[in-house]
Amino acid sequence: MNQRQLKAFQQLLAMRRQELLDEAERTVGGMTDGKENFPDPTDRASLESSRNALLRIRDRERKLITKIDDALKRIEDGSYGYCLETGEEIGIKRLEARPVATLSIEAQERRERREKQYGDRDDRYR
């Protein structure tokens, strides 16, 4: 991967990180501003359900921000774009689809097969 491509991924990741942070800030602001008082229990339950779903989404986005931060660090230290498992280059197409990818497609497929094969068995014995 050349420097121009690295810079493009760095900018893409930084922009995505900022978008996620802005969205989280709007969510917090929206939840603290509202003074909803619903006399109907169904309306209240609907609001709570919507809030819970939104908070689950924000939690997933928080985890994504951590992955973005890790990817930005890898860009800085020169290890971005290399598979953590095999050390081979991760394809540009994969990075375009998932800029926070840490595994090549082949390594990711092997990991998913292992999880499917052994993960189900482990869950049975818990």
pLDDT tens for each residue of 9-51: 999 999 999 999 999 888 777 776 656 677 788 888 888 888 8
pLDDT tens for each residue of 89-125: 999 999 999 999 999 999 999 999 988 888 754 443 3
Q: CA 110 → CA 3, 25, 48, 73, distances in Å?
A: 30, 38, 40, 26
Give the per-residue pLDDT at 35. Answer: 63
pLDDT tens for each residue of 51-89: 899 889 999 999 999 999 999 999 999 999 999 999 999
Question: Which domains, from first to last, does the chain contain?
Answer: 3-124 (1.20.120.910)
Cβ 17 vs Cβ 65: under 8 Å: yes
- Residue 85: HSE in the Cβ half-sphere, 13 Å Cα cutoff: 12
